[in-house]
Amino acid sequence: MEASSDDEKRPMVDLVKDKNGTDQVLLQNPKGASVKISLHGGQVLSWKTERNDELLFTSAKANSKPPQPVRGGIPICFPQFGTRGSLEQHGFARNKMWLVENDPPALPSFDPTDKAYVDLVLKSSDEDTRMIWPHCFEFHLRVSLGLDGNLTLISRVRNINSKPFSFSIAYHTYFSISDISEVRVEGLETLDYLDNLLDKERFTEQGDALTFESEIDRVYLNSKDVVAVFDHERKRTFLIEKEGLPDVVVWNPWDKKAKALPDLGDEEYKHMLCVDGAAIEKPITLKPGEEWTGKLSLSLVLST
């Protein structure tokens, strides 16, 4: 019995399959919190507390068969965000099959103590990718779940080409919320933002905190390293900490746009809010042999 108890206290990493046979990685910490990542898109699909509360939104109408991305979780938008470029919307990384990397490049700053984690990799080795984006790269992604239940994504993009290239990136995080009218976002005060609903026109945020009464689609520029999403009804706060990701995307489609999206229920917009750590306004340029690192850490704070 004691041995069994010891086993239960170790971080767990398991390879599982979804109903369509797509490989997924399940991370569990010793307290019972979990994270599920699909190798299709390297996409985090689930982040649960030790009480089994789901913290990420996924639409009940979401596509689950590759190559379509899943509406929800944390799709990775790379090497393009939105339609800012010649590629398909949000780039190709979220539609590609990633590989589990058994021998990843060293990451000295990472402390593995009590963490369940997995390394994934996407390389520019298939012809389809090179035809639409003719650059040689390696994208290494480490997803980790801490003993405290915090979810961390560390991305490293390396240029293995003979010429420079530029890219944008966003972790398009769908937070599960009680009701969009009960939520506020802090940490974006007085920042400039690009309004995608007004042809990317630039404005300056005036209010103390961001609240929601209609559709929103903005890129906040040069934000603080910590942004908070307060959910009053559920008495919980998401803290978004980021490194190498100067911008923050805030998106909710509201009722009209939601009805036009085939993979989102008409009323589901009320229970989701996307707040992304991103690098969009100033694309990242890598010379041959250079590497960029970005880090997103998500944590949950419960209030009494």
CA pair distance 272, 71, nearest whole angstrom: 11
Q: Which residue has the tokens 């994270």?
A: 35
Burial tier of 196 (Cβ tally within 10 Å: 0-12, 13-18, 19+): middle
Minimal CA–CA distance to 168: which of 76, 240, 256, 102? Answer: 76
CA dist list (Å): 197 to 77, 119, 274: 19, 36, 16
Q: Find out whether 142 is annotated in a ligand binding site.
A: no
Q: Find out whether 71 is annotated in a ligand binding site.
A: yes
CA pair distance 47, 56, nearest whole angstrom: 6
Q: Find out whether 94 is annotated in a ligand binding site.
A: yes
| Exposure string for 25-59, b = 16+ CB within 10 A, e = fewer | bbbbbeeebbbbbbbbbbbbbbbbbeeeeebbbbb
List binding-site positions for substrate.
Answer: 71, 89, 94
List binding-site positions.
Answer: 71, 89, 94
